[in-house]
Amino acid sequence: MEEEDPNTRRLNLPEVIKMAKEQSPSYQQALTQLENRTWQFQTYKSNYLPQLALYGTLPSYTKDYERLTDPEGRVNFVPVQSATSSAHLELKQNIGLTGGTIAIDSKLNRIDNFHEVRGHSFVYASNPVVVTLRQPLFNHNGLKWDRKTEPLRYEEAKRNFWEEMERISVRATDLFFSQLHSQISYDIAQKNVANNDTLFKIAQARFYNAKISVNELLQLELSLLNSKQSLEQARMDIETSTLRLKTYLGFTETYPIRLLPPDYIPQFEVNEEVALKQARENRSRMIGIKREQIDAERNLDWAESSAGVNADLFLQYGLTQRAGSLGPVYQDPTDQQRVNLGLSVPLMDWGRNKSKIGTAKANLKLVKANLEQQRVSFEQDVFLQVKRFKMLREQMKLAKQANGLAERRFLGARDRYLGGKINLLELNQAATERDSARRSYVSSLRNFWDAYYNLRLQTLYDFETNQPLTMPLPF
């Protein structure tokens, strides 16, 4: 058999999964998506906080002829040369309960006039304080609905991230066993080459002593050639599977790796009712079902609001003053008031609004029915996953026993063949059964650990430690 590279790194399944969760491209992608959703949630929360802004206009210079009408009604073009400057400080707050906006402003404007005869003059105008209320009446209140949906979207995003961590575990497990299967096949191929080479050399000596036929000698030589061919194919397979695993893990090192079979089978009880309870509490899909129903209700509210009377109320009260210098412009200001109420009343739309409301109601009904079906299917999937896990754990025990028995049977058959007690056909059958049992054992291991991590994914719960998998966020 070939000697192992001294730089070979040995890895077990938990180590491979840990690497995948910390450095794989899939982890970076999941982390970026969560970070993006986190910033969107911060943007949503800022909509309910005061916003302070400062606006300004640097001197805007104008030199032109403008149209002017004198008191007698005559129109003429007069030369105008001026510069305008302004500053505006605004504190604005959205009102989530009503969907309106309240703002407090302070404004200062200056106009510089340049005249060839009268020279340079300027004037100031100020609004020290202006309070403005803008309130839609009978309209759709998006801020109110955002309060219902945006926290759910963020919670859904967090749970999606935790689920993605378990999906990474499932994917890493699949690639782990793909390489382990290639590794086992390579080990079997090496053993077969060594065994067939030994048997062929013994058979040559027996043939020269006329103890076996030429046909049996040729059969052993053919088995040796076939095993060498299988070894080359196994070498190519293990190189391919190793490259896939390293690529997924984000490895840049070139050293070879050898995987250690996860023979330890954890023993813990999985109750179907507990699994369903944890899945309902932890999975993002259950949050998504609730959010999608609220979204459908929001669309209905928008359709009903837009179909009726719409009105916008505008109230403004402030102080204003003008002066030829900066100081007096803030002295003895006068009142400034504005009130405006705009209405929009549909009179004839040929059933358009009625159709929009009907469509929204039908869509809400359809969404509720689909979501209920999804809820039932979701619970069935969890129940079946628990059953599958339990079944595969029992199969794993049987496959392990069969693997041990097949190995012992082959060793005994080889000793009996060397002692001349059985023929070559029986030895080959024992070798085939040993190889098949070994591969079957690895396949059972693969199925069990796939079910193990899929159970964690389905419930976001670790039944081994009896605690949820809702880990702290990485930022």
pLDDT in tens, 229-285: 988 998 999 999 999 999 999 887 778 889 999 988 888 889 899 999 999 999 999
Residue 431: per-residue pLDDT = 82
Q: Distance (Å, rounded) from C-alpha 466 to C-alpha 420?
A: 57
Average pLDDT in the 170-181 region?
94
Residue 36: per-residue pLDDT = 94
DSSP state of 86: E
Where in the chain do CATH 1.20.1600.10 domains reside? 9-45+144-290+364-468
Residue 12 has pLDDT above 90, yes or no: yes
Q: Copy the structure tokens of residue 167.
A: 């999906």
Residue type, 422: I
- Average of per-residue pLDDT values in the chain: 87
- Mean pLDDT check: name the lowest of 205-209, 385-389, 433-437: 205-209
Q: Distance (Å, rounded) from C-alpha 40 to C-alpha 38?
A: 5
How many alpha carbons lie under 13 Å from residue 325 in its C-beta half-sphere? 2
Average pLDDT in the 384-397 region?
90
DSSP state of 347: -
Higher model confidence: residue 426 or residue 454?
454
Residue 473 backbone phi and psi in degrees, to 5: -70, 150
Q: Distance (Å, rounded) from C-alpha 162 to C-alpha 456?
A: 10
Q: Give 273-277's long-range contacts (Cβ < 8 A, gap of 24+).
A: 274/463, 275/382, 275/383, 275/385, 275/386, 275/455, 275/458, 275/459, 275/461, 275/463, 276/379, 276/382, 276/383
Question: pLDDT by residue (tens digit) across 431-474?
Answer: 888 888 888 888 999 999 999 999 999 999 999 999 998 877 77
Taking only Cα atoms into account, the Rg of the chain, rounded to an integer number of angstroms, comes to 40
Average pLDDT in the 98-126 region?
84
Give domain 9-45+144-290+364-468's CATH architecture.
Up-down Bundle (1.20)
Q: Copy the structure tokens of residue 261.
A: 């079979």
- Mean pLDDT check: name the lowest of 203-207, 313-317, 376-380, 393-397: 203-207
Residue 1 has pLDDT above 60, yes or no: no
Residue 124 has pLDDT above 90, yes or no: no
Q: How much of the chain, in percent, has pLDDT values that exceed 90?
A: 36
The answer to whether 369 and 292 are in contact (CB under 8 A) is no
Give the total residue count for the chain: 475
Residue 353 has pLDDT above 70, yes or no: yes
